[in-house]
Amino acid sequence: MGNNDRFKNIPSVNVLLQSEEGGRLVSDFAREAVVEATRRAIEAYRKGEFSDDSHESFLQVARELLEVKFAPSLKETINATGTVIHTNLGRAKLSPMVKDALDQAAFSFSNLEYDLESGGRGSRYQHLESVICDLTGAEAALVVNNNAAAVMLALSALAKGGEVIVSRGELVEIGGSFRIPEIIELSGCRLKEVGTTNKTHARDYENAIVPEETAGILKVHTSNYKVLGFTKSIDIPELADLAQKHDLPLIHDMGSGMLIDLQKYGYPFEWTVQASLAAGADVVTFSGDKVLGGPQAGIIVGKKTYIDAMKKHQLTRALRVDKMTMATLEATLRLYYDEEQAIANIPTLKMLTTTIEALQEKAQQLAGKLKPLAHKITIEIVDSASQVGGGSYPGEEIPSKAVAISPHNMSINQLVESLRQAPIPIVAKIRNDKCELDMRTLAGWEYEAIAHTLADILE
């Protein structure tokens, strides 16, 4: 049949839309989008991309185009990398125990900025301050949209127009080109560097303080790197004494702040928020979506006089959090009233504290799910290494277990790419020329999805 004869059979867009399946498409998707997809299906037929000229065929092509167009950009993704706080994969997974709070905040009216007692306007920050102060011992607290915003607000409110002293060893750049020197400049402050990259002494800070010029001291967690060897830095207690002596605010940017001391679970010492405040920090800033295990937020705690100044600052409105963030953060924080409950129910903490014995058991369960594919892949349970991620515990590797896969009829790179491009993407790591699925970041319900995905890839 010639092209002219073929083209005679092409139905019109209106005819297709008036069919039963066309009506379903209009019901499932926006009408204008269906019209456009149907036109594209007709054009694809004209180009010879498919040959079936039945109405059902045109509408099926249109549906496929619409499903791609309307598929969510954010996809559920399985993290098999072993990096617990994976910035590229959304950082912290929220606890299932915060779902009710999220549902109520998202799908109901609430007293977000309404005082139920007086019947007048209230403050959105009243919902979070008491629980944060309870847990940290702070006099006051404020929540903004991330920790970079928290640092910028603190500097702008407390030190604008003056010099801020920072050790050269703490002038960090972290993800997204967030640089401390540039944040200081954007905050309207002037950076005064002291010490060297590897060594800063108390006298360096003391000598840098100039009355009428110095407006604050900033202590920054180095987050994504560690300086080793011939080093020295000044910690919170000594800096607090110096700041108090000169009547200056000491701001501690913790980056990924912690409310639980993880040393008991085998991790090196890191300051907790409570310890930093107790040691004399006037203001402490930290993230809500890293080790804390909540939604993206920047939490600011400290002395009431300083927090009050930030609450009145014009930047606060620009940096404020929405009701869903507030609801999920509050629900997450309430889990911290009982440490055992927090460890058991906050996914980030649970993954960080899972024992090697439990990981071995998880690996055996996943390997069992993959056993029917043993004629197409080699399956091994191997020692592996996880990491905390998210700028926490830089350079520290956590012993882990992984299921290592070696395909028989494709390369490791092809396998990893196919996993990544699956309907439910699976992000794995290549180690020792094998595809490793690190058990520390995998949940039990994901094993079946992994098995099905591998079966489809290897088919």
- Pairing, β 434-438 against β 173-174: unpaired
What is d(CA 229, CA 83) in angstroms, rounded to the nearest whole number?
Answer: 26
Strand-pair partners of 218: 251
422-427 long-range contacts, CB within 8 A, separation 24+? 422/453, 422/456, 422/457, 423/453, 424/75, 424/76, 424/77, 424/78, 424/449, 424/453, 425/75, 425/77, 425/78, 426/77, 426/78, 426/80, 426/450, 426/453, 427/77, 427/78, 427/79, 427/80, 427/81, 427/89
pLDDT per residue rounded down to tens, the chain (459 residues): 455 667 877 999 999 999 999 999 999 999 999 999 999 999 999 999 998 889 999 999 999 999 999 988 999 999 999 999 998 999 999 999 999 999 999 999 999 999 898 999 988 888 899 999 999 999 999 999 999 999 999 999 999 999 999 998 888 776 656 788 898 999 999 999 999 878 889 899 999 999 999 999 999 987 655 666 656 778 899 999 999 999 999 999 998 889 999 999 999 889 999 999 999 999 999 999 999 999 999 999 999 999 999 999 999 999 999 999 999 999 999 999 999 999 999 999 999 999 999 999 999 999 999 999 999 999 999 999 999 987 777 777 899 999 999 999 999 999 999 999 999 999 999 999 999 999 999 999 999 999 999 999 998
Residue 417 to residue 419: CA distance in whole angstroms: 5
Q: Exposure of 245 by Cβ count < 10 A (0-12 exposed, 13-18 middle, 19+ buried)?
A: exposed
Q: Are 433 and 412 in contact (CB under 8 A)?
A: yes
pTM over 0.85: yes
Q: Is 276 exposed, middle or buried (0-12, 13-18, 19+ CB in 10 A)?
A: buried
CA within 13 Å, CB half, 212: 0
Of 261, 262, 435, 451, residue with least CA distance to 366: 451
Sign of CA dihedral 299, 349, 93, 438: positive
Distance, CA of 429 to CA of 63 (rounded, Å): 35
Distance CA 286, CA 292 (A): 9
pLDDT of residue 298: 96
Residue 402 pLDDT:
98
**pLDDT value, residue 224:** 58
Task: For residue 402, list its beta bridge partners.
Answer: 382, 438
Rounded-to-integer distance, Cα 317 and Cα 205, Å: 33
The Cα 395–Cα 391 span in angstroms is 10
pLDDT at 232: 74
Beta carbons within 10 angstroms of residue 142's beta carbon: 28
Question: What CATH number matches the domain at 96-345, 3.30.1330.10, 2.40.170.20, 3.40.640.10, 1.10.3720.10?
Answer: 3.40.640.10
Instruction: Please tell me the CATH code under which domain 78-86+352-458 is placed.
Output: 3.90.1150.180
Q: Is 389 left (phi over 0), alpha (psi -120 to 50) or beta?
A: left
